[in-house]
Amino acid sequence: MWGSRMALRRLQKIAVAPLSIKEGVPSNVQREMSTLQRVYVTRQIPPEGLKILKESGQVQFELWGSDDVPVPRAELLKKVKGVDGLLCVLTEKIDAELLDSAGPNLKVLSTMSVGFDHLSLDELKKRGIRVGYTPEVLTDAVAELTVALLLTTSRRLIEATHEAKTGGWGTWRTLWLCGHELANSTVGILGLGRIGVAIAERLAPFKVKKFIYTDVAPRPELARAINAEYVSFDELAKQSDFLAVCCALTPETKEICNKELFSKMKNTSIFINTSRGGVVNQEDLYEALAAGQIAGAGLDVTVPEPLPTNHPLFTLKNCVILPHIASASYTTRNAMSALAANNLLLGLRGEPMIKELKL
């Protein structure tokens, strides 16, 4: 597993070496080598990735010059025409329409994300386009944020801060703002991968009694690392005092967290999702929280994103919502951009990518 700091240093060192035109190379080959491949970058990505692209000597690239506003769809469809490579983020839907606009020159897509539900994988495979992505480098940041969100939700820190600021802090009271602690609890993990393991490793010092998990199949090697027990989906719901969702969004996991799941959970349970918003039926979650069917929920991901400020979930004191910031550390985002840039350049050279999604 790559830590983000180690990964960034490693990616800086192995950044694809610049192309050079050597003496003695025939003039026709020189002309061919000096014709740089065209790349479009859909966002103002962190500086380490841009530095790698600029210093490679391999590509000429154009980018959407804003980090605040995604490139408009019409602009994106226009800019991708004829490109050899595309570096995108998860706000861009890469589908048949876009790939048709890009045309046959497009050989490589590199996404600065670990998730790939924004990509039409069937279309990419059909057209023989290679895909790079950025897993592992964000594991530590996501695990840290998940733990922070879990503690914030379970110990009601947002409510407590509000009370302190607005005059609600009066005399000491025996049960005021009481929450739920991790000591002697059962922590459930839905989807045991690198991030799930990293979350459990960070929670273990809190004297958690037991870790349980469910997945499409048992993951004995990963489970051994955290001494976790494989259980059924129903048992995960029934036993978990804290339930952390770490699974990818697939047709099988879409809205898997719904009223059936919430109805089986304890009324003292805390639900945490830092994976993808689409795995949760938000209407069912609202009903479960409003009725006290579960004690609280912490979400870093929603549908849609951003979640409208008038959404019912925002009216609940027992729901903490963050604006999808799990990987938002300077080190991790730079490591992600560096990996995405290296994946793109290696793919354009026809070489193995550092992290390639096998279609």
Which residues are the active-site residues?
A: 324
Angle 225-146-2 from CA coordinates, rounded to 5°: 50
Record the tokens describing residue 62, joined without a space: 């154009």
Angle subtended at Cα 144 by Cα 275 and Cα 11, rounded to the nearest 5 degrees: 85
Q: How far is Cα 122 from Cα 120, in angstroms, rounded to an integer?
A: 6
DSSP state of 257: B
Compute CA 24 distance to the chain's CA centroid, rounded to the nearest angstrom: 47
- Bridge partners of 156? none
Alpha helices for 168-327 (secondary structure H): 194-203, 220-226, 233-239, 259-264, 282-290
User: The tokens of 265 are what?
Assistant: 């959970």
Q: Are 39 and 84 in contact (CB under 8 A)?
A: yes
